[in-house]
Structure formats: C-alpha cells, structure tokens
Amino acid sequence: MQYYALQTPIDSTRDLMKHLMKRIIARPSLALCVALCITTSPAVADDGLGSLEDLLAPSQNPAPARSYSGRVRVFDSVLIHPMPVWSRIEDGAAPAERSRFQRSNQNGIFRFDLAPHEESFKDWSNLLSMVAFQNHPGPIELQAGRLVAHFKTICSPNNFNAFPAGKSPTKRVMVVVCGNYSRNREQGVVAAVTLLKRGNLAVTIMRQWKRKSFITSVTSDWPVTRKEIDGVLGELIKSRLIPATN
C-alpha cells in the first residue's frame, strides 16, 4: 500500500496532482483477529482499539482515556477505523458524548455516520461516513469509479475534481473536491476517502468538510487545509477490514 501525502503549499490543481505523486509513505499490512461489535473479549482490550460499546456508551468516570479508534461490525467483517478529531476527549469520556450518530442496514447496504454533537445530519460542517456494500464483486477500481460518478451527479461539473492518493489491490485513497453542489450552489465539500475491499465486501470511509462554495482550482479557498487533509489521510489509511468471529 502506498500513500501520497498532501503537504506543501500549491497554487493550482495541476501542481497538486504532481505533488500527490511525489511523496510516498509505505504502510505495513495489518492483520489481527479480534472480537467485534458490542461483544467484549480479551482481544478487544489487548489491541487497545475499543469496541462499538466503547464508542456509544456514556462514560462512568473521567479515567482512563478512551481509544482514538473504533470498530463496527459490517456483515461478515469488522471495520477498524480512526475516530474523528472532534470526538477525542482525553479525560475518559466516550466519543458519543461529543458526537451524534446514525446507522442503517438495508438490502445489503450498511451505513454509519458521525457528526459533531452540536450539528445535525441535515446541516453539518464535519462528517465521518462509512458505507458498505455486501455484494460488490469486481476490482477496487470499479468501487472508486462509482464513488467518483456519485459525486459527479451531485456536484457542478465545472467545479469538481478527484485526486488519487494511493492504491493497492484491497485499498485505495483519494481526495474528492466539490466546489459547489449542483442543487445548492452556496455550499461545497472536500472529502478525504479510503476505499477498502475484502472479498465481495466494499467499504467506503469518508471524512468530509462542508462550507460555503469555492473554486476547486484555488486550493487556498478550500474549507480545509492541505495539512489537515494530509493528517486525516494518514489516519484513514490505517483503516482495515478483518474477519468477524461469531
């Protein structure tokens, strides 16, 4: 797996594309069998990643500090993923005390969203979204193509771009930039994306920033700095799918 970071100041999207291909950070493959979902076991404590119970349950006392990672049961797998920065409280509080969440599982499509507690899912500025498709055969390139196609349908075609940032047979990273929506031209969004594949299971994890509309070619006007995108991509790349144990 290779990860190309967004790092230095860049004045145009053309230079941004060149920059994305310059810096490569090798990431070791990770494989770890752990317990999942609300069920707890020594494996959950041993890997230090916490569980869905840790994510959603209110804290009972101010110590110890909670994990910065979460896990969610997704069909026959467990998705291990980073928690967004707004949920990270070092005094032991559960991430749910800083976030609101929603989840659904219908017709082979699983979705789990997190937003800051003071925001709503109709009017958010920061969002962590996970979408999983249970029966999604084909290579990860197909998954990436469908994601880009989705954004093209909701964004103004002349104010849209997608930047590849790394790939492997089971993982792909990209940045999608939508200067304004086609139906709401007053707002635009930037998404740091990691795509995962395990068999026929396809998972998309997106950390999104939504603000007032901007021009995609003017990177200094984006709703998030390239430094923050670089940091988020560096965390999202650690997301992984592992087998579920019943």
Token digits of residue 236: 């999202």
Evaluate if residue 37 carries a pLDDT over 60.
no
Q: How far is Cα 207 from Cα 232, in angstroms, rounded to an integer?
A: 8
Confidence of residue 8 (pLDDT cuts 50, 70, 90): very low
The pLDDT of residue 95 is: 57
For range 125-154, the mean pLDDT? 93
The pLDDT of residue 235 is: 85
The pLDDT of residue 69 is: 75
pLDDT in tens, 70-128: 888 899 899 988 878 776 655 555 555 677 888 888 899 999 898 888 888 888 999 99
The pLDDT of residue 53 is: 39
Evaluate if residue 18 carries a pLDDT over 50.
no
Report yes or no: 208 and 191 within 8 Å, Cβ to Cβ: yes
By the 10 Å C-beta count (0-12 exposed, 13-18 middle, 19+ buried), 93 is classed as: middle
Evaluate if residue 20 carries a pLDDT over 60.
no
The pLDDT of residue 43 is: 26
Q: Which has the higher per-residue pLDDT, 236 or 155?
A: 155
Q: Of the given ranges (38-42, 181-185, 240-244), which has the lowest mean pLDDT?
A: 38-42
- Return the domain boundaries, the chain: 2-243
Most confident of the ranges 3-17, 25-39, 126-140, 232-246: 126-140
**CA 52 and chain centroid, separation:** 17
